[in-house]
Amino acid sequence: MNKHLTTVAGVAVDTRHWIAGRRVASTGTFPDASPIDGSTLGDIARGTATEADAAVAAAKAAFPGWAATSRAERARILHAIADGVEKRLEELAIVETTDNGALLRSHRRGVMPRVAHNFRFFADWLLTLEHGDFETRGHSNHVSWDPAGPCVLITPWNAPLMLATWKVAPALAAGNTVVLKPAEWSPLTASLLADIAAEAGLPAGVLNVVQGYGSEIGDALTSHPDVRRISFTGSVPTARRIAASAAANLTPLSLELGGKSPLLVFADADLDLAVDLAVEQYDNAGQVCLAATRFLVEESVADEFTRRFVEKASSLTQGDPRDEATDIGPNIHPRQLEKIDGFVQRALAAGARAVIGGHPKEGQYYAPTLLTDVAQDSEIVQEEVFGPVLTLQTFADEEEAIRLANDTRFGLAATLATGDPERAERVTAQLVAGTVWVNCFFVRDLQAPFGGSRLSGVGREGGTWSFDFYCDVKNTVTAPNGWTNHG
């Protein structure tokens, strides 16, 4: 029996790293526990600088061959990876639900199909990537996207495989090699992705997966002189550490750092729609970077909005995420649960009122919470909680709504509910956010740029923006009639 294999919901998962096309163990391990019941899922290889160096070396060695691979062949392999994801969709869904506590029905119907789509989209986009040639005083200009080199991709625990492949797919499509470090609280589907990629024919060393703690392996990866790009999704404090680590080598960074996004509800909005949008913010137990956690509601409809919201939110079912009837699962880790409750209890002590919730439940579950009577400069309004905790404030007019919406350090997203298209145009033009949704939420197209303003991040990815980041964009200028025939 292979001591490095663990079985999760009937699926065998290798707990070792994947480096240079083979499994590599570490001298140490760390436990991975399920948020559903706290059970240990496996002892995961705990990487250090040794594994970081080996993975980057493998990526560097594989880079020339992969970079020289034709666009058509790269695209073919990415589609083969997508085929492998679809073939193992049920296995990926149940493993990830067990590992991070998100709803199984969501993984089956949305998240894992999106993983396959990430590979297909960037494979297809690669084949159409171009910038038309243009002339400058008779000289021709030709823009090309050259692969940059080994990329380090560090991904979060709230949507592990989807957010990992959001980075892996464009990096590979661009002709780069990858070292992927998944979050230590949800590493299992990244290991399965390595198996799927190998089965699809991805050459050894092109994708490497290493596991461990940021302070032990992450710093070694982000400070490595042979790394040409770093993409990170996570917290602001960790991003600062990564940026400092990368600074010595001037390694380009793409950072998506969460937010404190507003939902603006005007009196002319369809209130049923607004309430539906509001309740949706409890998705994934509130562990969504884009979540509109601050409700800003026009005074004249605030009471009715709150009444309808409480009625709808109270009908949500919280429990085992493997149950089709469950709407809200557990939070990822006891430390995260403690952090969430700390935010809530400090807010209540400062005078906030819990309209619903306001307390943890048995296990790693936190009651869906809505807090009112909160000050704009309070911690609960200004800091990201990353749990099922929302706040409600009122505004008198459009000017105040925009001021409150923009009055945080973040700027990832914003959601607007209004029946007036002219108002929507005026307000969205003034909101500080990378994405604004009007009378909808979480409609995301990979053609669109994604990223945040202020402390919500650096850079944009999606469509051509992804290739702009993962490549060295080059312009070649050729003189007219400048050729000399030496024959």
Q: Active-site residue 256, yes or no?
A: yes
Residues 6+ apart with CB under 8 A from 247: none
pLDDT for the residue numbered 43: 97
- State the Cα–Cα distance between residues 337 and 330, nearest whole angstrom: 9
List the chain domain ranges.
Answer: 5-257+452-475, 262-438
Nearest to 454 by CA among 255, 233, 164, 245: 255
Give the Å distances, CA to CA, from 374 to 281, 364, 380: 19, 26, 8
Q: What is the DSSP letter of 110?
A: I
- From the list 256, 298, 384, 461, the catalytic residue is 256
Q: CA–CA separation, 187 vs 184, rounded Å?
A: 6
Q: One digit per residue, pLDDT tens: the chain, 487 residues?
A: 578 999 999 999 999 999 999 999 999 999 999 999 999 999 999 999 999 999 999 999 999 999 999 999 999 999 999 999 999 999 999 999 999 999 999 999 999 999 999 999 999 999 999 999 999 999 999 999 999 999 999 999 999 999 999 999 999 999 999 999 999 999 999 999 999 999 999 999 999 999 999 999 999 999 999 999 999 999 999 999 999 999 999 999 999 998 999 999 999 999 999 999 999 999 999 999 999 999 999 999 999 999 999 999 999 999 999 999 999 999 999 999 999 999 999 999 999 999 999 999 999 999 999 999 999 999 999 999 999 999 999 999 999 999 999 999 999 999 999 999 999 999 999 999 999 999 999 999 999 999 999 999 999 999 999 999 999 999 999 999 766 665 5
Structural contact between residues 356 and 370, judged by C-beta atoms closer than 8 angstroms: yes
Predicted TM-score of the model (pTM)? 0.96
Architecture of domain 5-257+452-475: 3-Layer(aba) Sandwich (3.40)
Q: What pLDDT shows up at residue 481?
A: 78
Task: Name residues whose C-beta falls within 8 Å of residue 81's C-beta, 6 or more positions apart in sequence.
Answer: 119, 196, 197, 200, 202
Q: What is the pLDDT of residues 122-172, one digit of tens each?
A: 999 999 999 999 999 999 999 999 999 999 999 999 999 999 999 999 999
Q: Is the dihedral of CA 186, 189, 192, 196 positive or negative?
A: negative
pLDDT tens profile 355-379: 999 999 999 999 999 999 999 999 9
Report how far residue 353's alpha carbon sits from residue 347's, in angstroms, rounded to the nearest whole number: 8
* C-alpha to C-alpha distance for 350 and 70, rounded to whole angstroms: 61
pLDDT digits (tens, 9 = 90+) for 19-74: 999 999 999 999 999 999 999 999 999 999 999 999 999 999 999 999 999 999 99
Interior/surface letters 420-452, b for 16+ CB within 10 angstroms, e for the rest: eeebbeebbeebbbbbbbbbebbeeebeeebbb
- Classified by CATH at the fold level, domain 262-438 comes out as Aldehyde Dehydrogenase; Chain A, domain 2 (3.40.309)
Please calculate the CA angle 483-144-225 and round it to the nearest 5 degrees: 115
As a whole number, the mean pLDDT across the chain is 96
